[in-house]
Amino acid sequence: MASDTLRVVARLLAKPDKVDELRTLLAGLIEPTRAEPGCISYELLENKENGAEFTFVEEWEGDSVLDAHLATDHIQQALGEFPDLLAEELDLRRYKLVG
């Protein structure tokens, strides 16, 4: 892994009655996102203690590549569905490797 790449952690919390629907939506983002130029790693995690909490752990070649990802049709469609599925706003954070 290159030290100058962009790391992203995106946390999502489903409404109690929308967990399965959110899981299906998020899982459907994996394949098209991994095929995008500049995507190094894209993993979806589900919290073992709270099945309504999902986290993407991502690595990208840089900010511009992530911005392009966020503008793709599949991500824009998902963002449009989030208000009905999420108990709180998407928490998306960008990081750089320290050591």
Banded pLDDT at 1 (limits 50, 70, 90): very low
Topology classification of domain 7-91? Alpha-Beta Plaits (3.30.70)
Banded pLDDT at 99 (limits 50, 70, 90): confident
Exposure letters 69-98 (e unless 16+ CB within 10 A, then b): beeeeebeebeeeeeebbeeeeeeeeeeee
Question: Is a pLDDT exceeding 50 seen at residue 15?
Answer: yes
Q: Where are the domains of the chain?
A: 7-91
pLDDT at 2 (0 to 100): 54
